[in-house]
């Protein structure tokens, strides 16, 4: 069996003296899509932010490719793509400019590739319009175009289906499956009814933590 990309061992997190989760252990293997599920407020966003290295209010162990993540920070960051539940799009910039900003410090991508990625998320013809003039779903599609130029093997995606129409949902589902088929791994939170073949799940909340 292949080595996990990411491994969580006995994670615990408390917010405002409220225990969100404890004894949370799971492995994210190459070739898998894992859904983090649970009712509102049970800690899904918090967990993804912890995994992405954006929240330090936790205890336990996180391993990246079998080594403590803290010792592998650069490799972890270079190989992980996090998209938060807010699209993170700058309203005064165009979709092309926003994608360039999202790629900053990662790698050079030509305008042609960016325009193709935007076309791939249904934004052909909107490449140079300020994002403040786009709809909520179109703004989220700008952020999702990032997936089409991603070479990071691990994707951590928080509520990426919000404001997306049915065709867009199917397109995202196929991107997740594609990443897994290419040997990457995806961890996704969503309230959308996501059904992908072989999908794993981590459930937070009332019944405690459950992994399958």
Ligand X SMILES: Nc1ncnc2c1ncn2[C@@H]1O[C@H](COP(=O)(O)OP(=O)(O)OP(=O)(O)O)[C@@H](O)[C@H]1O
Chain residues binding ligand X by CB under 6 A are 15-16, 20, 38, 40-46
At its nearest, how many Å lie between ligand X and the CB of residue 148? 25
At its nearest, how many Å lie between ligand X and the CB of residue 159? 7
SS3 19: strand
At its nearest, how many Å lie between ligand X and the CB of residue 160? 12
DSSP conformation letters of 23-52: EEEEEE-TTEEEEEE-STTSSHHHHHHHHH
SS3 123: coil
Instruction: Specify the residue, 50 or 96, whose C-beta has the smaller distance to ligand X.
Output: 50
**Beta bridge partner(s), residue 202:** 36, 211
SS3 171: helix
At its nearest, how many Å lie between ligand X and the CB of residue 60? 16
Instruction: Specify the residue, 127 or 159, whose C-beta has the smaller distance to ligand X.
Output: 159
Instruction: Specify the residue, 58 or 155, whose C-beta has the smaller distance to ligand X.
Output: 58
Instruction: Specify the residue, 43 or 122, whose C-beta has the smaller distance to ligand X.
Output: 43
Tokens of 84: 């938060």
At its nearest, how many Å lie between ligand X and the CB of residue 94? 29
Instruction: Specify the residue, 73 or 86, whose C-beta has the smaller distance to ligand X.
Output: 86
DSSP conformation letters of 6-17: EEEEEEEEEETT
At its nearest, how many Å lie between ligand X and the CB of residue 72? 25
Instruction: Specify the residue, 42 or 121, whose C-beta has the smaller distance to ligand X.
Output: 42
Neighbours of 183 (CB within 10 A): 11
CB 9 within 8 A of CB 60: yes
Which uninterrupted H or E stretch holds 176?
helix 166-181
Tokens of 176: 């997740």
Count CA within 13 A, CB hemisphere, residue 98.
Answer: 28
């Amino acid at each position: 069996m292949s080595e996990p990309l990411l491994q969580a061992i006995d994670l615990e997190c408390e917010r405002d003296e409220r225990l969100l989760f404890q004894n949370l252990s799971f492995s994210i293997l190459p070739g898998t899509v894992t859904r983090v599920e649970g009712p509102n407020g049970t800690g899904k966003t918090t967990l993804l932010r912890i995994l992405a290295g954006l929240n330090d209010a936790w205890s336990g162990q996180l391993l990246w490719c079998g080594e403590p993540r803290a010792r592998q920070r650069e490799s972890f960051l270079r190989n992980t793509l996090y998209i938060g539940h807010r699209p993170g799009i700058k309203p005064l910039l165009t979709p092309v400019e926003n994608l360039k900003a999202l790629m900053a410090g990662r790698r050079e991508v030509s305008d042609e590739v960016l325009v193709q990625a935007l076309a791939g998320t249904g934004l052909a013809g909107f490449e140079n319009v300020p994002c403040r003039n786009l709809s909520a779903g179109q703004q989220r599609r700008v952020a999702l175009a990032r997936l089409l130029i991603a070479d990071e093997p691990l994707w951590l995606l928080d509520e990426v289906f919000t404001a997306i129409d049915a065709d867009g949902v199917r397109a995202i589902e196929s991107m997740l499956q594609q990443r897994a088929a290419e040997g990457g791994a995806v961890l996704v939170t969503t309230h959308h009814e996501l059904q992908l073949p072989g999908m794993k799940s981590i459930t937070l909340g009332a019944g405690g933590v459950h992994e399958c």
